Structure 1
């Protein structure tokens, strides 16, 4: 019996959404073949599969275990289409797909029924509210706009909420790691890098330590491993 090919992941090294997907895959111990891309030169095959043109994009060949767990972003879900590849092109859905197959650290907090909806709501807020504000803050800093401080303060509402959570327990949802910690990590990292001097003096010592612990971990080094570009080599590389 022939085994199914490994899923293929199109990824951009420093994109926070792609980082989120890679974190989920590593925590689920799910191996994929990674094709590294850059924003300005995306493979035509990737654009044909996912026309919105953003990373990450995960392609699952055949009826892979758990492939139907990721929700609305999985295409061709029915059993009669089992031979068609499944496409997941949202970072959170890639995390959920992988962790629904294997979650050795119980990042989905399966013993606490109301935990997952809370985490998903906070991740939604991060993606829909905090991330756009963060982009405006980054832009204001880059171009020395006089709105920089105001935009940073708007971002701080979410940052303050995370600091409060960390004042109550070691991680964002409790005293063990969760989906929420890894889903938000790349975006807090971005926030910290906009104005490093301000961040190091900011009133968020618990968040600083939380972020430092993640960035210093062997896991994060694996997440940020650099691969040759797919369009230059034509090669995909094992990841996870």
Structure 2
């Protein structure tokens, strides 16, 4: 019988936006984890054994339960500790996150890898993604965070994807007419929380000493 971990074990990939938002919630909640940074082209068998789909993030809890979706990990972390009330207005958060994870992510992938999707131009894919940016801009023109005066699950769950969208063409994004989104994004990029979850770790291999992260 495999020995259960003393800490939750997080299989992650530093640049993956899904893994990034899971790490943000875990760090915000003050939860220590064992970090297992993986190589996407060389996924360890231990990850495949826990989660046959073998996509990050995956969190193995000390009781053996396995969480395979980033939002499930975020909700679990916030259920442990939510000092600034990220779970406020959860229904509105769910609506925005569904748009982010659906249509926006669809066009983000095609914008980023337009050469793999030659049916339309990168500009076309970007314009489709801008419908979501316009929604965020309208909200952030009124309040400093997407759902009001403080950060919520929506901000943390969506930020990594806006970061990725902005990075496709940084010059375009810097000149685009989304000043409130740009300010919101920069606030995240400059935050201590973001810095805490972007430490670099060597790729994990079986038998490697545990690497502790976050709290």
**TM-score relative to the length of structure 2:** 0.93
Once the 2 structures are TM-superposed, how far is the Cα of residue 235 of structure 1 from its aligned partner? 2.9
**Which residue number corresponds to residue 234 of structure 1?**
208
- Helix, strand or coil for the counterpart of 1:168? coil
Q: Which of residues 199, 216, 235 is equivalent to 2:173? A: 199
Aligned position for 1:43? 44
Quote the offset at 1:236 in angstroms. 2.8
* 1:167-221 superposed Cα distances (whole Å, 9 cap, x missing partner): 1101101011111111001000000001111101100001001101110112111
Residue equivalent to 2:59: 58
| Contact 2:137–2:178, Cα closer than 8 Å, also in 1 | yes
Q: CA deviation at 1:61?
A: 2.0
Q: Which residue of structure 2 aligns with residue 130 of structure 1?
A: 104
Deviation at 1:47, TM superposition (A): 0.5
Q: Note if contact 2:44-2:205 (Cα within 8 Å) is conserved in structure 1.
A: yes
Unpaired runs of at least 5, structure 1: 63-84, 110-114
Please give the root-mean-square deviation of Cα atoms over the aligned residues, in Å: 1.7
The answer (yes or no) to whether the contact 1:230–1:236 under 8 Å persists in 2 is no
Q: Encode CA deviations 1:46-86: one digit per residue, 9 max, x unaligned.
A: 11110111000000122xxxxxxxxxxxxxxxxxxxxxx10
> In structure 1, how many angstroms separate the alpha carbons of the residues matched to 2:208 and 2:152?
36
In the alignment, which of 64, 86, 92 is matched to residue 107 of structure 1?
A: 86
For residue 75 of structure 2, what is the aligned residue in structure 1? 96
TM superposition outliers: structure 1 runs of 4+ over 4 Å: 141-146
**What is the 5 A alignment of 1:1-240?**
5-62=6-63, 85-109=64-88, 115-140=89-114, 147-231=121-205, 234-240=208-214
Shift of 1:125: 1.5
SS in 2 for 1:197: helix
Alignment partner of 2:77: what SS? helix
Report if aligned partners of 1:134, 1:191 keep a CA contact under 8 Å in 2.
Answer: yes
The whole-number CA distance in structure 2 between the counterparts of 1:14 and 1:233 is: 24
Counterpart Cα distance in 1 of 2:17 and 2:117: 22
Aligned partner of residue 113 in structure 2, secondary structure: helix
Shift of 1:161: 0.3
**Unaligned segments of structure 2, at least 5 residues:** none
In 2, are the aligned partners of 1:138 and 1:194 still within 8 Å (CA)?
yes
Contact 1:141 1:194 (C-alpha < 8 Å) held by counterparts? no
- Given that residues 99 and 108 in structure 1 are in contact (C-alpha distance below 8 angstroms), is that contact kept between their aligned partners in structure 2? yes
* TM-score, with structure 1 as normaliser: 0.83
